[in-house]
Amino acid sequence: MVRQHLNARGFKFYCLLVFFFFSLVFSASAAEFILFHTSDVHGAINAHPDPVAKTDPRPLMGGYAVLQNLIDSYKSNPENADARIMYLDSGDFFQGTPIVDRTKGAVMIDMLNRLRVAAVTIGNHEFDYSYPNLVEQMEKRDFPVICCNVFEKANGRLLRFAQPYTVFSHKNRKIGVIGVDTPETATISFEKNVKDVVFADPTPILPPLIKKLRKGGADFIILLSHLGFDADVKLAAQVEGIDLILGGHTHALKKEITWAEPFNTAIVHSGSSCEHASVVRINIEDPARPTIHLTSTPLYLDKFGENAKIKEIEDSYLKDLKIEMQKVIGETKVGLYRGVSGGDSPEGSIIADAMRKYSGADFAFINFGGVRQPFQKGKITIEDVFMVQPFDNFIELVEMTGFQLRDLIERSLSNEAKVIDAEDKAFAMDNYNMKADGLKLVVGPDYGFLLPSGMKITYDPSQVPMKRIVKIETDNGEELQAEKVYKVALNDFIASGGDGYTLLRDFKGRTKMELLVRDALIRYIEETKTINERPEKRINNIKLTEEYLN
């Protein structure tokens, strides 16, 4: 009897051991995180027509009510019961739509709170309404802001509302998330808006943070980045220990994971305007060999519907604006697009023409980065113009000699030239309905690409920077006169030194007009009534071929 009793107790103990062992295995295997990622939402809180659709009418997509329904569909799926589900954003949620402008970003903080975002980093456009405004808006948030490389100038500390990283735990596994903003913010923002902060190179800042997180038990490291796709690839080659970069800033949509050498770092970019969400599954059953799976999901309204509560909040913000924004001011018989960087820009030409016409300037330039959404064929509304020109930029006249003007144009054409690859060609076809081949200019440092009115520019991007101009001639066929003083219309962002043009700050002959670029464009379209064809080509890149299909 004693022997049998001992055997029974031993058998129970053995069963407990087996159960404990399999519980550990099951717990480890269930260590899955499902991340929803967006970036560069730019105030697109509601569903809007698919910008690349070829059908008429174009299907509606995007917006936070649709995104919330997608997230909820994963949460309600029994297969995901043991996963931790989170939403992350890589910045530039401010700027881009009238409602963001009217509320100075407050609407975005409210919406992110309601979506229960797990963490965000900040982008350059969060500073568009000034740093004090950003601080004020961030006081209303219910989520962590992570950014390790932006500091207050007065005390050298991180932004008062930010922390360098955060940690998320699930099933005895930890994910460390570090945030970074692009140092370019210092040059691509109004100086007055960023004068109180310093943007540092994140490369030397990251390794000690990664080491600290690993030492604290982090099994997986994510960089929530607003550096841009090319900059993410470059950083991934320099910094070891990052498992995944969730990036933004350049509005790149990557439907597959990019694996960057030499550390096999996964890079994911989710596009812009909340039109796609990257759904990233991370399984950390074995911390030494985590697995990552990406599903790039277009947020079509007819597929996912809209969350009723989020839709109600959205409508409460947009109700008073809708009547004003839907006013029709003109029509275009052709699609007007920004085009390839380094090439001609029909849409940029229209904006620059409006600036020149209503300022009385000899020439005008709009920066490539200041041309946002396209004008699709059809009626043009006030809202369409706001989407093209969301910034409250005023027209400023700057006096320049022909010599200084030529120097300005050379700088505009001096960025690195890059061969248009298959991905670039597909993007041009989808977004501009255009075939493109040859050399383009890389967007970013050192200078913004300028789009002209009143002149034609021929250049060769294969030549060394500052020696690329082949020919400049005015609309009447004349060459620039070196000593003659011209009146040049710019937006006040460029005139005050933005996009790398700090030399313009020293020009004395200048007049700031009480006319927004956006208002000049509205007036131009109202007076034109119907745009029947694209403007004549202004920029001839002799190493680039461009062909619009309609």
Query: Helix axis angle, 517-528 relative to 346-359, nearest 10°?
Result: 100
Domain match, 375 and 251 both: no
Residue 256 domain-assigned (yes or no): yes
* Phi, psi of 487, rounded to the nearest 5 degrees: -95, 120
Taking residue 318's Cβ as centre, other Cβ atoms within 10 Å add up to 16
| 103 and 155 belong to one structural domain | yes
Tell me whether residue 6 is exposed, middle or buried, using C-beta atoms within 10 angstroms of its C-beta: 0 to 12, 13 to 18, 19 or more. Answer: exposed
User: Which of 253, 284, 316 is where one domain is finished?
Assistant: 316
d(CA 69, CA 244): 25
State the Cα–Cα distance between residues 521 and 133, nearest whole angstrom: 28
Which amino acid makes up residue 43? G
CATH number at residue 268: 3.60.21.10
| Per-10-residue mean pLDDT, the chain, length 550 | 42 44 44 97 95 88 98 97 97 94 96 98 96 97 98 97 98 97 93 95 98 97 97 97 97 96 97 97 94 98 98 94 91 96 97 98 96 92 93 95 97 96 92 94 91 98 97 92 97 94 94 95 97 96 93
Specify if 74 maps to a domain: yes
CATH of residue 383's domain is 3.90.780.10
Range of the structural domain that residue 310 is part of: 28-316
Same domain, 36 and 71: yes
- The predicted structure's pLDDT at residue 445: 81
Calpha distance 506→518 (Å, rounded): 26
Q: Are residues 196 and 331 in the same domain?
A: no
Would residue 4 count as lying in a domain?
A: no
Same domain, 332 and 420: yes
Distance between CA atoms of residues 282 and 221, nearest Å: 11
Which residues, 6 or more positions from 77, have their beta carbon under 8 angstroms from its beta carbon? none
Structural tokens at position 420 = 């248009």
Residues 264 and 343 placed together within one structural domain of the fold: no
Sign of the Cα pseudo-torsion (234, 240, 243, 247, in order): negative
Question: Which domain-ending residue is among 264, 283, 316?
Answer: 316
In a domain, 14, yes or no: no
Do 191 and 166 share a domain, yes or no?
A: yes
Query: Of all helices (H) and strands (E), which one includes residue 395?
Result: strand 394-401
- What pTM was estimated for this model as a whole? 0.84
Query: Quick one: pLDDT at residue 485?
Result: 97
Residue 294 is assigned to a structural domain of this protein: yes
Per-residue pLDDT tens digits for 363-407: 999 999 999 889 999 999 999 999 999 888 999 999 999 999 999
For residue 454, being part of any structural domain is answered with: yes
User: pLDDT value at position 491?
Assistant: 97
Residue 13 domain flag: no
348's enclosing H/E stretch is helix 346-359
Verify that 163 and 310 share a domain, yes or no. Answer: yes
Q: How many domains does the chain have?
A: 2
**Residues 155 and 124 occupy one common structural domain:** yes
Same domain as 263, residue 332: no
On whether residue 9 sits in a domain, the answer given is no
Examine the domain organization and report whether 375 and 493 are in the same domain.
Answer: yes
Span 523-537, pLDDT tens digits:
999 999 999 999 999
Can you list the positions of beta strands (E) in 31-94?
32-38, 48-49, 60-61, 84-89
Query: Do 291 and 429 fall into the same domain?
Result: no
Q: Which of 267, 286, 316 is the last residue of a domain?
A: 316
Collect all residues with Cβ–Cβ distance below 8 Å to 124 and sequence separation of at least 6.
Answer: 91, 92, 181, 182, 184, 185, 188, 189, 226, 249
